[in-house]
């Protein structure tokens, strides 16, 4: 069923605002511990722009944002398509070891804490 306010031609969806103090950033911290350089990311999006698997939904920049926000539900679908080709790592202006972060993230999403 269409939401009632659709008749206005736009929708007011619920706010995505979160309380960062309450966010569960444990996965993010584990990754940071493994790859400290990860913290230097400035969300420029170069990694996403060059990505070999961009068409299949790989999005490192977004995955990083969600990790920080503790929103882990979508992480798997955002990182599954990565083929570890390494292009992103070579173009990142902040020298983030993106490939290694994605590799470890893929493993951490499968191995329980």
Partner 1 sequence: MNLSDHPFFVWPFVAGMAFLCIYLPAVYLKWLRKTSARDRKKISAAIFSVKTIRAIREIFSECLLHRRIFRFNPTLGYMHMSLAFGWFLLIVVGKTETMLYTRDGFNPPYLPVFFKYFYPDHIPANFKGLFFLTLMDLLLLFVLSGLTLAIFKRFKSKFLGMKKSTRHILPDRIALTFLWLIFPLRWLAESLTSGVYNAGGFFTLSSGRALASLLPAEQLLLPAWWAYSIALGGFFVALPFSRYMHIFTEAALILLKHWGVKTTQRANGYTDFEIHSCSRCGICANVCQLSADAGINHSQAVYFLRDLRYNRLQPETAENCLFCGRCSAACPVDIQVDDIRLQQRTNRANRCAPAIRRPAAQLPGTPETGGVLYFAGCMTHLTPSVKEAIRTILNRADVKFSILDEAGGICCGRPAMQAGFRQQAESIIQQTTEMILRSEASLLLVSCPICYKVFNEEYQLPIPVKHHSVFFKELAAAKPELFKNSRKRITYHDSCELGRGSGIYEEPRELLRRVAHLVPTAHEREDALCCGGSLANLAISPAQRDLITDTAYEQLIAPAPDYVVTSCPMCKKTFSKGKRDIPVVDIAEALQMALTPEEKPVRVKVGKKAEVLA
The answer to whether residue 28 forms part of the interface with ligand SF4 (CB under 6 A) is no
Structure letter (DSSP) for residue 91: H
The answer to whether residue 45 forms part of the interface with ligand SF4 (CB under 6 A) is yes
Instruction: State the minimum distance, in angstroms, from the CB of residue 67 to partner 1.
Output: 17
The answer to whether residue 66 forms part of the interface with ligand SF4 (CB under 6 A) is no
The answer to whether residue 46 forms part of the interface with ligand SF4 (CB under 6 A) is yes
Residue corresponding to tokens 């070579």: 90
| Cβ closest to partner 1, residue 26 vs residue 95 | 95
Cα 109 from chain centroid (whole Å): 13
**Using CA atoms, how far apart are residues 68 and 72, in angstroms rounded to an integer?**
9
From the list 39, 42, 65, 107, which residue makes contact with ligand SF4 (rule: CB under 6 A)?
Answer: 42
Q: Which does 43 bind (CB under 5 to 8 A by kind): partner 1, ligand SF4, none?
A: ligand SF4
The answer to whether residue 67 forms part of the interface with ligand SF4 (CB under 6 A) is no
CB 33 within 8 A of CB 53: no
Output the six-digit token pair for 64.
């990083």
CB 102 within 8 A of CB 62: no
9: region left, alpha or beta (phi > 0 left; psi from -120 to 50 alpha): left
Pick the stretch among 9-17, 25-33, 68-76, 95-103 that binds ligand SF4 (CB under 6 A).
95-103
């Amino acid at each position: 069923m269409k939401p009632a306010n659709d008749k206005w031609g736009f929708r007011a969806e619920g706010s995505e605002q979160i309380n960062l103090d309450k966010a569960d950033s444990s996965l993010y911290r584990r990754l940071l511990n493994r790859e400290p350089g990860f913290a230097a990311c400035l969300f420029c999006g170069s990694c996403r722009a060059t990505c070999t698997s961009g068409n299949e939904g790989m999005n490192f920049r977004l995955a990083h944002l969600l990790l920080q926000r503790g929103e882990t539900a979508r992480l798997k679908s955002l990182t599954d398509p990565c083929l570890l080709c390494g292009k992103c790592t070579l173009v990142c202006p902040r020298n983030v070891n993106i490939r290694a972060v994605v590799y470890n993230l893929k493993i951490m999403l499968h191995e329980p804490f």
